[in-house]
Chain A
Amino acid sequence: MIYPEKCIGCSSCELACSFQHTGEFRPTKSRISAIRWPKMGVSVPLTCLQCEDPSCMKVCMVGAITKDKETGLVSINQEKCIGCRLCTAACPFGNINYDPEEAIVFKCDLCDGEPQCVEFCPNNAIEYREATDALLQRKKKVSAKFAEILEEVR
């Protein structure tokens, strides 16, 4: 669960994520990123939403992207990936990226259940929890409003 109102745009999540996955502190290799509006003092952390019906998975012809039925995690099997990169273009949220150095596509993998971004966020703007009724309620509300605004900007 993401709480943009709590995000202070400090980049801790990006650094923690890139370090966890690549051993380097490089936000460009992070699976999460904070979109910032410094003048307004506003920022929003964004990462893979582990979609119900993921576009990335749909366009992957070799079954390298799968969604775990139990955990809901959408993950990439690097071994199976043939590098067509269609997933990076298909994700409407831009949450799969291509790393030209390693020649792989990458996305959030929830750090096997212990997301480092959550761990290192100083203000609890990102949480990783079981979905409770209250949380789902909030999610629904947010997404309804989100959809509304999305329609407007399109």
Chain B
Amino acid sequence: MIKIRVNGKPVAIHDEDKTLLDVIKEIGINIPALCYHPGLPARGSCRLCVVEITKPSWNGRSKIVTSCLYPCEDGLEVLTHSPKVIKLRKVIIKLLLARCSDSKELQELALQYNADVSRFGTKENEKCILCGLCTRACEEMGIEAISMVNRGWKKEVAPPYYEPPENCIGCGACAEVCPVGAIELTETNGIRRIWNREFEIQKCVECGKYFATVAQLEHLHNKYGIPLKDLKTCPECSKKRVGTVLKKTFFD
């Protein structure tokens, strides 16, 4: 068991794999963590989750670390809202907001932390904060259709060669995990559009409802060997099919 203190309050931790952010969230302290998602590996790219840590043995010295990456160590004293932390977090919010001035999420944070951007010029029409959640989601899916391309101020998320990604299955997980809604996904008339590619959505062979992209179903087929024809009914109709068989089992 590991014992740490968060803002002076002692906390006992049983699961040693937990990060500081996990613990901070669990005990109900709210700190911003835009690039964190419980289902994906942490990367520490937004820097908003910074906290100040120290130990009695450090002779009064302290460190600033990203809590989403920092493991729980016995004896750590963690400060989530010390003056130093607030000051840094404010700068980070300002910088992010200067990049993405229209982002509601960032504006809210700015309000909370009383941060105004006047010092920095703002970039227009930018939504992405380059947190990398989408690329991580795509990677976890085993697809890797998008990645962080270029470098420095030209850095952005894109598919290779900025072309509609061939291997994308149109699952939309990237759009789903994006903390600022920067990835556009639209669905009209049986076509899903994402990353400049159009995906045909499968019509349920029973009821005609659109329910998943054909590419998603093909992916399931290729990876898990599920017969394609078993994948062509929507959940409701699959249920009905099972019901029909059950009915026969019991009543015929």
**Inter-chain pairs besides A142-B250, A153-B244, 10 sampled, C-beta below 8 Å:** A46-B243, A55-B224, A59-B220, A77-B39, A84-B137, A85-B172, A90-B220, A92-B230, A94-B234, A96-B235
Q: Is the CB–CB distance between B246 and A40 below 8 Å?
A: no
Q: Is the CB–CB distance between B177 and A83 below 8 Å?
A: yes
Complex contacts, B142 vs chain A, CB 8 Å:
61
Q: Is the CB–CB distance between A93 and B242 below 8 Å?
A: yes
9 closest Cβ contacts across the A-B interface?
A83-B176, A35-B243, A94-B238, A80-B39, A94-B235, A94-B239, A62-B39, A84-B171, A84-B173
A61 partner, pick from B141, B226, B235, B250, beta carbons under 8 A: B141
B249 partner, pick from A79, A93, A97, A146, beta carbons under 8 A: A146
The complex places the Cα of A40 from the Cα of B251 at a distance, in Å, of 10
Q: Is the CB–CB distance between A145 and B172 below 8 Å?
A: no
Q: Is the CB–CB distance between A89 and B38 below 8 Å?
A: no
Complex contacts, B39 vs chain A, CB 8 Å:
62-64, 77, 79-82
Within B174-229, the residues touching A (CB, 8 Å) are 175-177, 211-212, 216-217, 219-220, 223-224, 226
Chain B proximity of A39: nearest CB distance (Å): 12
* Residue tally, chain A, CB below 8 Å to B: 43
- Residue-by-residue, is B29-70 near A (CB-CB < 8 Å gives 1, otherwise 0)? 000000001111000000000000000000000000000000
Interface centre among A90, A91, A94 (most CB of B within 10 A): A94
CB contact under 8 A between A142 and B249, given known A46-B239, A46-B242: yes
A1 at the interface (CB under 8 A from B): no
A95 partner, pick from B231, B233, B235, B241, beta carbons under 8 A: B235
Complex contacts, A142 vs chain B, CB 8 Å:
249-250
Q: Is the CB–CB distance between A82 and B211 below 8 Å?
A: no
The SS class assigned to the B binding surface is: helix
Complex contacts, A153 vs chain B, CB 8 Å:
241, 244-245, 248
Q: Is the CB–CB distance between B235 and A82 below 8 Å?
A: no
Interchain Cβ contacts under 8 Å between A and B, 21 examples: A37-B247, A46-B239, A46-B242, A61-B141, A62-B40, A80-B39, A83-B173, A83-B176, A84-B216, A85-B216, A88-B235, A89-B212, A89-B217, A89-B231, A94-B240, A97-B235, A142-B249, A145-B249, A149-B245, A153-B244, A153-B245
A90 partner, pick from B38, B224, B243, B251, beta carbons under 8 A: B224
Q: Is the CB–CB distance between B237 and A94 below 8 Å?
A: yes
The complex places the Cα of A19 from the Cα of B18 at a distance, in Å, of 35
Q: Is the CB–CB distance between A89 and B240 below 8 Å?
A: no
A143 to chain B: closest residue by CB: B249
The complex places the Cα of A19 from the Cα of B177 at a distance, in Å, of 28
Chain B proximity of A117: nearest CB distance (Å): 15
Q: Is the CB–CB distance between B176 and A82 below 8 Å?
A: yes
Q: Is the CB–CB distance between A93 and B212 below 8 Å?
A: no
A93 partner, pick from B231, B234, B238, B247, beta carbons under 8 A: B238
- Residue-by-residue, is B146-186 near A (CB-CB < 8 Å gives 1, otherwise 0)? 00000000000000000000000001110111000000000
Complex contacts, A95 vs chain B, CB 8 Å:
235, 239
Q: Is the CB–CB distance between A146 and B226 below 8 Å?
A: no
Chain B proximity of A137: nearest CB distance (Å): 15
Chain B proximity of A138: nearest CB distance (Å): 12
B140 at the interface (CB under 8 A from A): yes
